Every structure is written in structure tokens, then in C-alpha cells.
């Protein structure tokens, strides 16, 4: 079953706590976006804020920062973090970042922004646990979905069949059916879940559509 990972992007620590509390009622895993205002135009909560939170959720941290190595110094002391995702386009050498993440006993994920060709990441695919394809220009909740980015998913799957592939950005109920045509493992969904009036109902709607699609596929192929 395709996983749905609610995504938190905020510059307000109280809102972060509120969103985590809401998410605890219907899921066990969320992604938190960290933005430094340099790598992307917007700035989120500080990475040091993560040390102040108490949650039962497992966390994935998506670093949209120029220097992920610097950020990792904070993350190694924070409980509940299972995976750290950083951008291929960041300034630090990717292989060094991957090694540092794994030295903490965490899963290492590589994010690819819309303008980055998949071929540039080919040599790194054997060293990472997951790839996160960005289907929006990163940095804002509710950014416009870029359908051309979907072709990257099949290219990555051909290069390494067993890698975990996620899609992040602009994912809504009204474009989900198209997205489900691609060999993905998980979807990071932000505003279409946690900015809704009833986040749990929104989350369950995504799960329902995915389940319905899987059922139809099983009937089709017998």
C-alpha cells in the first residue's frame, strides 16, 4: 500500500506543536520541513526548535538548507527521527552528508528539485535509502504542482529497482489519480491534509482513494 506522510511546514513553533498533536490522532509518521531562508526564499522554524518538541510520532526531517552538515549537529541529539532528507543541490558534498547521516544510525534520503536531471544523482543511488522527487519548486505550502517531474520516478526506478521513492509537493485529491500511475512508495502531503479543517478526514480520503485504486488494479489483473 502506498504510504501517505503528512508534511509540516511552518515558521511558528506553537503551530508546529499543534500540527504534531493533530497528526498523532491519525498517523504515526510525519515529515517536518526545515528551511534556512537561503537555499529557498522562505524560512521555517529553526532546526534547534526540534529539540523542544515532545511527540509520539516518528519523524522524517526534510532539510531545505544550504549546508546540511551543519544542521546534522542538531539532529543527532533529537529522539524520534528516523530519516533525514537533504537536497542534491545543497552546497555540501552529498557523499559526506550521506555518511554523516548514516553514522547516527539514521536513514539517508536525497531530495531532487524540479530543475535537477535524475542522471546527475545516478552515482549516489547506491549509497542512499530513499529519493524524494520534488513536484513543486520548494519552499512554500500550496505551491503549484509540476506534472513534468513525474517522469523522473520511472527513471529512478530503472536505475535502482529496490530504492524507496517519494513524491513531495502540490499533491491533492484532484491530481492523485494521475500520480498513482507511477511506481511510488510514499507521498508527502502538506496543505491538503494539515491545513484542512479536519486533517484526519483529509488523510483518510487519500487512503480511501489509494485503496480503491489498488482494488481496481487487482480486479483488472485477476
Dihedral in degrees, nearest 10, Cα atoms 184, 84, 118, 39: 130
Written as nine digits, the cell of 2 is 502506498
Whole-angstrom CA distances from 147 to 62, 120, 130, 136 are 21, 20, 21, 9
Burial of 123 (0-12, 13-18, 19+ CB in 10 A): exposed
Evaluate whether 111 touches 134 at the Cβ level (below 8 Å): yes
Q: How many CB atoms lie within 10 A of CB 185?
A: 16
Distance (Å, whole) CA 153 – CA 91: 24
- Among residues 11, 28, 33, 73, the one annotated as catalytic is 33
Distance (Å, whole) CA 114 – CA 156: 14
168 part of the active site: yes
- Among residues 162, 168, 185, 198, the one annotated as catalytic is 168
Distance (Å, whole) CA 13 – CA 52: 9
Q: Taking the CA of residue 109 as centre, how many other CA atoms within 13 Å lie in the half-sphere pointing to its CB?
A: 25
- Residues marked active site are found at 33, 168
Amino acid at each position: 500500500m502506498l504510504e501517505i506522510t503528512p508534511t509540516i511546514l511552518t515558521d511558528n513553533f506553537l503551530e508546529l506543536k499543534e500540527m504534531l498533536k493533530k497528526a498523532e490522532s491519525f498517523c504515526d509518521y510525519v515529515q517536518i520541513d526545515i528551511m534556512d531562508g537561503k537555499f529557498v526564499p522562505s524560512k521555517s522554524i529553526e532546526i534547534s526548535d526540534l529539540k523542544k518538541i515532545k511527540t509520539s510520532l516518528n519523524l522524517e526531517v526534510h532539510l531545505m538548507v544550504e549546508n546540511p552538515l551543519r544542521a546534522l549537529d542538531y539532529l543527532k541529539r533529537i529522539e524520534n527521527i528516523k530519516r533525514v532528507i537533504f537536497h542534491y543541490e545543497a552546497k555540501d558534498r552529498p557523499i559526506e552528508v550521506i555518511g554523516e547521516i548514516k553514522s547516527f544510525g539514521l536513514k539517508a534520503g536525497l531530495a531532487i528539485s524540479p530543475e535537477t536531471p535524475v542522471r546527475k544523482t545516478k552515482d549516489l543511488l547506491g549509497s542512499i535509502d530513499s529519493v524524494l522527487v520534488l513536484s513543486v519548486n520548494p519552499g512554500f505550502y500550496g505551491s503549484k504542482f509540476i506534472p513534468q517531474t513525474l517522469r523522473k520516478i520511472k527513471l529512478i526506478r530503472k536505475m535502482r529497482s529496490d530504492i524507496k521513492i517519494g513524491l513531495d509537493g502540490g499533491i491533492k485529491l484532484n491530481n492523485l489519480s494521475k500520480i498513482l500511475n507511477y511506481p511510488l512508495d510514499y507521498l508527502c502531503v502538506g496543505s491538503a491534509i494539515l491545513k484542512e479543517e479536519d486533517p484526519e478526514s483529509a488523510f483518510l480520503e487519500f487512503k480511501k482513494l489509494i485503496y480503491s485504486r489498488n482494488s481496481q488494479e487487482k480486479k483488472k489483473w485477476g
